[in-house]
Amino acid sequence: MTPSDPRKIHVLMAGPQLPALAEPVEREFIVHKLWLAEDRPAFLAECGPLIRGVVTNAPVGASAELIAALPRLEIISSSGVGLDAIDLAAARQRGVTVCSTPGVLNDCVADTGLALLLAVARRLCEADRFMRDGLWSKGKFPLSTSLAGKTCGILGMGNIGQAVAKRAEAFGLRIAYSKPSPRSGLPFDRFDYFADPLDLARASDFLVLTLPGGPRTHHLVNTAMLDALGPRGFLINIARGSVVDQDALIEALVAGRIAGAGLDVFEDEPQVPPALIALDNVVLTPHIGSGTHETRAAMSQLAFANLQAHFNGQEVLTRVA
């Protein structure tokens, strides 16, 4: 590709972005902000024929309808690793390059997973409320669950799954995992592999979800999977809310068919069912897996670098389609 003059390139910002991404994009390109449009169809009819790039993130994505409204579109650069909100089939059909920001968020997402695991197993949030409500003088806090010697099952052993495994081993947990085929080149030779996710759930005390969202994994964690995890098992979800049948999860938690859950993602974000909020054996966080200053800055820099490389006639750094 011949390098283009960025001052003449129009890009669409599909949703609000952090300054670390928005500022360099606005400095280098002509930016159109879709989320500010009062009349979206009219807005796209006016600027759509000019747009050559889309800047987005995992929650906002880029729908087939949006892609169809941009006849000159060349690249979608997303700050995030989730791709379920980007219509990859529509992008491929049009020959549009799609980039995400893998790698730079692995550690922070894994940290969040271990924080949720620790919090729900040791009942840290309950203990905090117990203290703040002045209950310590009235009696002892209930016992919690130890990690050492338990099995941490990881459903999806990609980069984030491996980062979770490394941390979990440091807490004395045995590691097991499931994915369609065994992963070669794992840094540890002590991992137990299960081809069937149900078998992984049966073997796990803690089941950590790190697999991608999308149609193939929709409601993979269902009633059968939760029953396999059992009344002493904990579910930790740092993947996507769509991976879990949320109604089935609530039923299992209320009935005591699993011990508890640590959830950073939900089916209809930012809406969270009151039934989940009411449960003491659940720790909830508002999709903060990659939510640190350092990681979000790195994600923003990579998303901008992909956009810049494309229009400079270079190979993008992290192409997914």
Listed as own residue / partner, the contacts of 16-22 with beta carbons closer than 8 Å and 24 or more positions apart are 17/55, 17/57, 17/79, 17/300, 18/79, 18/296, 18/297, 18/300, 20/296, 20/297, 20/300, 20/301, 21/55, 21/79, 21/299, 21/300, 21/301, 21/303, 21/304
Q: Pick the catalytic residue from 123, 174, 240, 296.
A: 240
* Cβ-based neighbour number of residue 142 at 10 Å: 10
- Please confirm, yes or no, whether 269 is among the known catalytic residues: yes
Residue given tokens 């193939």 in the structure block: 216
Q: Pick the catalytic residue from 23, 65, 269, 294.
A: 269
Contact between 103 and 159 under an 8 Å Cβ cutoff? The reply is yes
Q: Pick the catalytic residue from 32, 52, 167, 287.
A: 287
- Please confirm, yes or no, whether 218 is among the known catalytic residues: no
**Cross-strand pairs, 98:** 76
- Please confirm, yes or no, whether 287 is among the known catalytic residues: yes
Crossing angle (nearest 10°) for helices 124-132 and 106-121: 60
Contact between 207 and 234 under an 8 Å Cβ cutoff? The reply is yes
Which residues form the catalytic set? 240, 269, 287
